[in-house]
Amino acid sequence: MKKHGLLFVNGEVTEKEVGIIRHRTFDKIIAADGGVHHALRFGFTPDVVVGDLDSITETVRAKLPATQFVHRPSQELNDLEKALQFCQEHGFSQLTILGIAGKRLDHTINNFSVLARYDRFFELELYDAYARIYLIRDEIQIQGQEWQLVSLIPVGKVEGITTEGLAFPLNNESLEFGVREGLSNYLTRKQARVRFRKGL
């Protein structure tokens, strides 16, 4: 059985995406350092907090007497990557992540760069207030409603893309960052399929 974790990161988290996942069952709740504040604000008790712990006050520790605090002081890795390493070491294969994006664009871009190194180890499902985000390497089935927006954003170059169920189809075509993107397509039915030969 897949081991599924809920990971709070220290970006922005709103009630909208929390409402989507609130009643799901997770094997563990993990916070990447300052992500613990989002978890507490929305009524979640992390099982584990991972990072350099510079955001963790004695007040926070007092609220979480049963929580494991994992101190990883390296400044070469950000707290998201430290949490992903922890999840990899402890056998997680599926992660739902909140707070991946925020007001600082440099942090947001860096977080996606980190995820591009780890997506091969996990099934990743990311949420912000406006979107559900997937990192895929070969194929995905998209469940949604007719007219729902779908954007395909390449990380580098993605080759051999073929889509089914999208208004603007691709047939063995390429998308490339800085050359051609797939912004604001939309579903023409409740299930669509995107597959490709190479890339992310």
Closest CA to 18 of 28, 6, 32: 6
Query: For the residues 183-199, what does the mean pLDDT come to?
Result: 94
> CA-CA distance, 143 to 16, in Å (whole number)?
19
**Average pLDDT, whole number, for the chain?**
94
Name the helix (H) or strand (E) containing 30.
Answer: strand 28-32
DSSP lists the bridge partners of residue 157 as: 176
Total count of residues recorded for the chain: 200
What tens digit of pLDDT does each residue of 71-109 get?
Answer: 998 888 999 999 999 999 999 999 999 999 988 999 999
**CATH superfamily of the 4-133 domain:** Thiamin pyrophosphokinase, catalytic domain (3.40.50.10240)
Residue ranges in the chain assigned as alpha helix (H): 15-21, 35-41, 58-63, 79-89, 105-118
What tens digit of pLDDT does each residue of 134-178 get?
Answer: 998 889 999 999 999 999 999 889 999 999 999 999 999 999 999
CATH of domain 139-195: 2.60.120.320
Amino acid 75: pLDDT: 85
Percent of the chain with pLDDT over 90: 85
What angle, rounded to 10 degrees, do the helices at 79-89 and 105-118 form?
20
Report which DSSP code applies to 46: -
Tell me if 29 sits within 8 A of 9, measured CB to CB.
no
Look at residue 1 and tell me whether its pLDDT is greater than 90: no
Q: Please report, in angstroms and rounded to a whole number, the separation of the first and last CA atoms in the chain.
A: 26
Query: For the residues 50-73, what does the mean pLDDT come to?
Result: 93
> CA-CA distance, 166 to 160, in Å (whole number)?
16
Judged on CB neighbours under 10 Å (0-12, 13-18, 19+), 160 is middle
Amino acid 61: pLDDT: 93
Q: Where are the domains of the chain?
A: 4-133, 139-195
What's this model's pTM, rounded to 2 decimal places?
0.91
